[in-house]
Structure 1
Amino acid sequence: MPQKNPKNTAPPAVAASDKFKNFFRLKPRAFLLCLAAALALTLMNPLHLNVEQQIVFGALFMAVLSWASQAVSQTVTSIFLLIMFSLFGMTPLQQVFKFPLSDNFITIAMSFLMSQAIVNSGIAARLADTLLARFVKKPMDLIWVGIASNLLMMFLIPQPFSRTILLAAIFVEYIKRHNIPRATSEVVMLNLFVTAVTTLMMFLTADVILNTFAVEMSGTSISWFDWAKWMAVPSFITTLIMSGLLILMNRKAFSVELGHPVARGRLGDSDQDSEHIVSHNPFSRSEKIVLVLVLGTVGMWMTESVHGVSSAFVAVVCVAGLALLTGTLGHKDIKSMNFPLMIFLTAAFSIGGVMQSSGISEAMFSVFKMDGLVGTGWFAPAIIGLNMMVHQLVGSTVTSLSISVPGLRALAGATMNPIAVMLISYVTVNLHYYLPFQQIVLLVGLEHYGPRHILKIGVVMTFLTPVIVMLLFMPWFQLVQ
């Protein structure tokens, strides 16, 4: 008999001293091992770097090891890396802090607040009742609804961080209302974010940051339809493969039943009948305003190319309206912006610019001798292997592409379509990850599942990624080019 999950209760308040300890968390043994490895690599200087480059490369290696082992808190490590980049990175500060100075930073921050307002207002509960409950009869159904939700929402919100944050709020509400066990909910939420990664590859506008950057790295221009021609079909098949893999790896997690829905009434409604589902109640005035503001914001995001108003400005106006007109946001909700994650994203997005400006990217690429493979059947596997290696070294999809694609494109010359070179690299770094920071979309959802889940699937994907690229994507590229 499946065990019932205990009722969800509010977590105890965290004392200020505990927050301080968590912020400066240190595992002495792991920290010393990371420091020793970073110092050894820096002193060995295998890339023949100058002193400043050595310091930057050593700091990056130390940060990657610390993030992987959690030797020091993620926030402290990120701040350390930003300081080292600022002092020794030979890069303008506006490039180092490009992410917090961008519209994307504001849009993501505001998306957290919008998500919290949706939950506070009861809209998330309504959506969980009316949308999820219509199609979900058993926990396994949440896997397929997660795929469908990502496919639908990528046409509405062209930024995976924002849309997965909003989708997660709805799924979390459904999970709470149906008392789904933690082990099952972690797999369901991981699937939501894993399929967000694979579906964002389908269309150019599914991720306006990464996909636009990838096209820029290819040195060519690609229309929306050309991208879809190359990527839509194999990416959709990959989405199904990834979900099937998660199901196979976590079969026991789905041997449970949905609990009876627990009512979670509207804000301020404490006398809710426990047998009455909130979606059967009429909309309150605040709920209507929340719905109009959020749908209006999504509509503006969808048509940004038409009206030219930045997504960040639209998001700020929406959040201001939610706070002033509905009362669904207060000072206590500022914590939902997840500041540690925003600091980490700042560090992660700075890596590519610093590696390029400091000349380390060029030095890294010169180590890999691939000239003799150009024009042979081994060149494509070498592209995959190089990208997997670089991605593990620098831990960022954007950074990996900025290091590998320009050099590979120049190396390939006329022997391979530059779009194919870029897309092989792009697919490889999107699918191959061991740790949350190696795939930022998964990092955004880390509060819903543990790093061990990502590590577990990453081990399998080490062997499966080359197979998917070689036997699925490349034959498709040859068919459509």
Structure 2
Amino acid sequence: MIFGAAVAVTINLLPLEGLTYQGKMCLGLTLMTVVFWAFQVVQSGYSSGLYLVLLVIFKVAEPSAVFSPWLGSTMYMVVGAYLIASAVKASGLGERIAYKFIIRYVSSYKSIIISIFMLTLVLSVLIPHPWPRAFIIMSVMAVVIKNARIPREDASKIGFAVFAAAVSVSMIFLTGDSVINPLAAQASGESISWIKWFVYMGPPNIIASIITCALILVLFKPTAEVRINKDEIREKLIAMGPVSAKEKRTAVWLAAAVVLWMTDSVHGINIGWITLLIAMLMSFPVVGEILTAKQWGEVPVHVLLFLSAAMAIGRIGGITGMNDWIADTILPSSIPSNPFVLAILISVISMVIHMFLGSVITVIGIAIPALLLFTQPSGISPVVTSLLVYTAAGIHYILPFHHLNILVGMGEENGMYTQKEVARLGIPLTAVVFLITAAVEVPYWKFIGLL
């Protein structure tokens, strides 16, 4: 806490040429908040709320600019996404799908790991947030672990695979992560529909997911042979009874949501408003009766404040000149003409910032605006720059705090894994980042005409 405050004071005392009072204050408060996030001084919601209110108190920007995320669709899409995820969980539909999948496809340790990635992909179309998806899959895997009497050491590997799969698989569809994906799309300044996102990011992240799955199978081998008693899992499924009316209504609303998400470029309605609309209708009599008053408790206020702060960093940084100063200070003077070299440069810069800031959303807020200014003279589409930054930061992690999808699963009561498992996979994933950005995305985007 003292270190974070000292960073803010020091930045404001340094004679940083090219930065106004507002720019220095924005930089100081931003770095202070990042320190608080990285070292988990307090829950992220509290440090985020402090950052937002200090921006207003120190007159860094007007309240309308600081809290501008609430004037768009993103925050409301997050609210809707949590409610839809709660509906899928409460109705039992997600658990039923997972049980049926396991009965049909799972028979060994290898098939367990592969099924985790496949289930994550299937449920990412239905549940627009990675955390509820991961916890639903983890609850099913807990049954498998108990059923097969899997040793504690191997159980932690399976638990880690659940949350590791949530990283790259969540980037395949725009609604795969309704928090971060839309932020990366908006940061480009251009409209990216659900279909366009899948065209641009789907194939590269499918490849990234396959590589991640393969790395887990190679690095985390089981200590004993796995034998699954499918009869016991069938009993769990039978105990759920026949498909209920609530499950059927949930499936209908999910189908409507998916269709509307996929056709957003046709009807022109932002997917954020669609997500909120579907969630609201799920609560109404006769047509819904899926969500009740208690489901509002599933919407975490601290996550909304964290998102507000992370989004404010980029916006207020642009208003105060902080982003321009960062671009002039840390970026090279010339732009590489070779797109492969440029992709590697952007990846390195993004990962270095990510290593110290520890938040994908913060990297999006700081790196994308700075790199958009850097690449603008080359005529490269801002979509390319934004998605390269997001790919590099989104796939990359070394320690749990580098990615919320990994951090949320740590602990005995969740995924049962520790920092040791995270670092073991995270280090080779650094090489995967360069492979995906330079060797996959650049030639693929050139092929489809984006680059």
TM-score range relative to shorter protein: 0.7 to 0.9
- 1:278 counterpart residue number: 236
Figure out how many residues of one structure are paired with residues of the other and give that number: 429
- 2:313 counterpart residue number: 351
Q: Which amino acid is 1:386 matched to?
A: I
- 1:427 counterpart residue number: 391
1:257 and 2:226 correspond: yes
Q: Is the 8 A contact 2:81 2:275 kept in 1?
A: no
Q: CA deviation at 1:231?
A: 4.0
Q: CA deviation at 1:65?
A: 1.9
1:277 to 1:91, Cα distance in 2 relative to 1, 3 A: farther
1:319 to 1:226, Cα distance in 2 relative to 1, 3 A: closer
1:217-275 CA-partner distances (Å, limit 9, x unpaired): 446666766655554433222111112223334335x6463675797xxxxxxxxxxx9
Among 292, 295, 298, the residue aligned to 2:251: 295
Instruction: Give the Cα separation in 2 of the matches to 1:204 and 1:124.
Output: 20
Partner secondary structure for residue 19 of structure 2:
coil
1:85 and 2:55 correspond: yes
Q: Which amino acid is 1:315 matched to?
A: A
- 1:16 counterpart residue number: none
Q: Is the 8 A contact 1:193 1:441 kept in 2?
A: yes
Instruction: Give the Cα separation in 1 of the matches to 2:113 and 2:17.
Output: 45
Alignment of 1:18-417 (within 5 A): 31-44=1-14, 46=16, 49-88=19-58, 90-99=60-69, 102-118=75-91, 122-156=92-126, 159=128, 161=129, 164-166=131-133, 168-176=135-143, 178-179=145-146, 183-203=153-173, 206=176, 210-211=180-181, 213-218=183-188, 228=198, 230-252=200-222, 255=224, 257=226, 277-281=235-239, 283=241, 288-304=244-260, 305=264, 306=267, 310-319=274-283, 325=289, 331=294, 335-375=297-337, 378-392=341-355, 394-412=357-375, 415=378, 417=380
Alignment of 1:8-19 (within 5 A): none
1:134 to 1:230, Cα distance in 2 relative to 1, 3 A: same
Normalised to the residue count of structure 2, the TM-score between the two structures is 0.77
Instruction: Give the Cα separation in 1 of the matches to 2:444 and 2:253.
Output: 37
Q: Is the 8 A contact 1:34 1:62 kept in 2?
A: yes
1:26-51 CA-partner distances (Å, limit 9, x unpaired): xxxxx334444454444336575333
The higher radius of gyration belongs to 1
Q: Is the 8 A contact 1:116 1:329 kept in 2?
A: no
For structure 1, list consecutive stretches of 5 or more residues without a partner in the other structure. 1-30, 264-274
1:441-477 CA-partner distances (Å, limit 9, x unpaired): 4456567346725455444434442344233333444
Instruction: Give the Cα separation in 2 of the matches to 1:233 and 1:472.
Output: 9
1:133 to 1:319, Cα distance in 2 relative to 1, 3 A: farther
1:466 and 2:434 correspond: yes
For structure 2, list consecutive stretches of 5 or more residues without a partner in the other structure. none
Q: Is the 8 A contact 2:163 2:406 kept in 1?
A: yes
1:155-174 CA-partner distances (Å, limit 9, x unpaired): 445x3x1x651453144134
Q: CA deviation at 1:367?
A: 0.6
Q: Is the 8 A contact 1:431 1:461 kept in 2?
A: yes
1:263-295 CA-partner distances (Å, limit 9, x unpaired): 7xxxxxxxxxxx9713225736xx613202321
Q: CA deviation at 1:97?
A: 3.6
1:377-410 CA-partner distances (Å, limit 9, x unpaired): 7544322222223334554445534544455455
Instruction: Give the Cα separation in 2 of the matches to 1:412 and 1:33.
Output: 34
Instruction: Give the Cα separation in 2 of the matches to 1:330 and 1:219.
Output: 37
Q: CA deviation at 1:423?
A: 3.4
Instruction: Give the Cα separation in 2 of the matches to 1:80 and 1:262.
Output: 53
Q: Is the 8 A contact 1:204 1:211 kept in 2?
A: yes
Q: Is the 8 A contact 1:147 1:192 kept in 2?
A: yes
Q: Is the 8 A contact 1:45 1:54 kept in 2?
A: no
Q: CA deviation at 1:147?
A: 2.0
